[in-house]
Structure 1
Amino acid sequence: MSYDYLFKYIIIGDTGVGKSCLLLQFTDKRFQPVHDLTIGVEFGARLVSIDGRPIKLQIWDTAGQESFRSITRSYYRGAAGALLVYDITRRETFNHLASWLEDARQHANPNMTIMLIGNKCDLAHRRAVSKEEGEQFAKENGLLFLEASARTAQNVEEAFIKTAAKILQNIQEGVFDVSNESFGIKVGYGRPQGQSGARDGTVSQSGGCCN
């Protein structure tokens, strides 16, 4: 399957916030209620369509435990986008965001696009962090923001695609030197220039999975 660009993503955040479940919902459209703790790093990929352009997302799902932080840090390098995840039902996962963000700023390229995700919004009755707090943190730190649910798939598609749309916008505005793969962007091959239109298995930016 040919594509215009390949974007590398990293998913970060405390253990148990649903990082692996978000990835699985996005790549396989399924929810796995019982998921083993991620050891080190797991990987997923999917082709999407942004403004009619096929983009391949290569996604690294990292372990949230402190003991794996050094491994996680090595994956910041060469990531064009990051999904920073917390659990809206666990206040401590929100409190740790500043530490994760500091790591990202320190080890990633300065133009990496970061999407803050408040996961498990299907558990609103157990909410410990308000949506306004999430929005405020994102605004203060220049992040994109969505609340999502890996269980119901709400906003999962949007989270990955809006991040890709922002990266593509940055490319078009000349923020990245796309010939330098250390930015986590790779120019695709095998696709005639000027050809547009989504391929099978792609999703369009406007195609939402929920209301």
Structure 2
Amino acid sequence: MSFPVRAITLDLDDTLWPFAPIGARIERVLDDWMRARSPATAAMFPVEAMRALRERVWRENPALAYDLSALRRLTLEIALRDSGGDLSLLDEAYEAFYAERNRVEFYPDALEALARIARRVPVAAVSNGNADLVRVGIDEHFTLQLHAREHGAAKPEASIFLAACERLGVPPGEVLHVGDHVEADVVGAMRAGLRGCWLHRDDHPGGLGAWPRADIAPDLVFDSLAGLADWLERNPAAPRL
């Protein structure tokens, strides 16, 4: 299949890198940090209890569902306060989390493929997460980054995809959104009028073997970002920057 692609919007977590190892490391790093800096908090909220607190904060604050940074800060604030910890440590605790959150391990194909794609078309990061492209070290490949927290709504809301298209200066029908999540990425983007590419790696955390919906299908499916880079280079409708 060949169609015009003048820009790409790209998911980050589980698209360029797996998130599960990051999440596991964050729990260990925060636990170590609390043991060193706020022992009472570590005692009241060991890893399992901190995880349960985080999940409760997520459930009880649906209005912040688009802002994972605010939810994380609120979790740390409650943990410090309820354990009698020093609330002045909140910024330092959040920084311990955020530094680890941005220490990613890329999928083997991701960096080279991203560079190849960015040489073809402008790329915008569109993410519900809170990764920082500068801290991760890949900002040079992106024209812009649009977080759900910045926009005020999360994927699959049409508005975040359309805002990215507007900032790119490209009509939605000529923008390809690429991501791993069936609903948040592919279905959301296609309902907003973008083209949709499902990046379905063999180790996808959702465990899906095949596209699960009959009412809507992605324009493209690849099991690696390199597959998309190859397609762009073969596609005569995709311009070269």
- Between Structure 1 and Structure 2, which shows a larger proportion of strand residues? 1
Select the structure of larger CA radius of gyration.
Answer: 2
